[in-house]
Amino acid sequence: MSNSYILKTEGIYKSYRMGTAKVSVLRGVDLAVKKGEFLAVIGASGSGKSTLLHILGALDKPGSGTVSFNGRNVSQFSSRQLNKFRNKDVGFVFQFYHLFDELNILENVYLPAMAGSSIIGWLGMRNRAKKRARTLLERFGLSERLRHKPYQLSGGERQRVAIARALMNEPEVLLADEPTGNLDQHTGNDILRVFGEINKAGQTIIMVTHDQRIAERANRIVRLAEGKITNVKG
Partner 1 sequence: MYKFVLAFRFLLKRRISYFSVFAVALCVFVVFVVMTVLSGLTADFKKKTHLWSGDCVVSTKSLVGFSYYEEFMEVLQKEKEIEAVSAVIKSYAIVKSVPGGNSSVYIDRTLEVIGIEPASYSKVTGFSEWLKYTTGRIQNSFEQSYDVNLPGCIIGIGFLFERDTNGNYIMPEQMPQIKVDVSCFPLTAKGALARAGTAVVSSKIFALSDVAQTGISSDWKSVYLPFEQAQLLCGMTGELKRANALFMKFTDGVGLNAGCSKVQFLWDQFMEDKKDLRQSELLKNVKVQSWKVYNRDMVAVAETQQALMIIVFAMMGVITVFIVFVVFYMIVSHKSKDIGILKSVGISNGNIMLLFLIFAFLIGALGSSIGAVGGWQFLLHINQIEDWLFEHFDFQLWDRELYAIGDIPNSIDWRVLVTIILSAVSACLIGAFLPSRQAGRLQPVETLRVSKL
Please give the residue ranges that form the binding site for partner 1 (CB under 8 A).
50-51, 54, 57, 59-60, 79-80, 83-88, 92, 94-96, 98, 100-103, 107, 111-112, 114-119, 122-123, 165, 178
Q: In whole angstroms, how close is the CB of 208 to partner 1 at the nearest point?
A: 12
Nearer to partner 1 (CB atom), residue 6 or residue 109: 109
Cα-to-chain-centroid distance, residue 96? 13
Q: Could you tell me the CA-to-CA distances from 151 to 43, 170, 177 in Å, in that order? A: 31, 26, 21
- Nearest alpha-carbon partner for 153 in 214, 163, 114, 115: 163
Contact of 168 with 2, CB cutoff 8 Å = no
Q: In whole angstroms, how close is the CB of 233 to partner 1 at the nearest point?
A: 26
Q: Which residues contact 219 (CB under 8 A, 6 or more apart)?
A: 37, 38, 39, 199, 234
Q: In whole angstroms, how close is the CB of 200 to partner 1 at the nearest point?
A: 25
Side chain identity, residue 54: H
Nearer to partner 1 (CB atom), residue 20 or residue 78: 78
CA 222/CA 209 separation, integer angstroms: 11
Report the chain's C-alpha Rg in angstroms: 18
Nearer to partner 1 (CB atom), residue 63 or residue 234: 63
Nearer to partner 1 (CB atom), residue 162 or residue 198: 162
Q: In whole angstroms, how close is the CB of 115 to partner 1 at the nearest point?
A: 5
* Region class of 170: left (phi > 0), else alpha (psi between -120 and 50), else beta: left
Side chain identity, residue 109: V
Q: In whole angstroms, how close is the CB of 218 to partner 1 at the nearest point?
A: 21
Nearer to partner 1 (CB atom), residue 37 or residue 89: 89
Nearer to partner 1 (CB atom), residue 2 or residue 211: 211
Q: In whole angstroms, how close is the CB of 230 to partner 1 at the nearest point?
A: 24
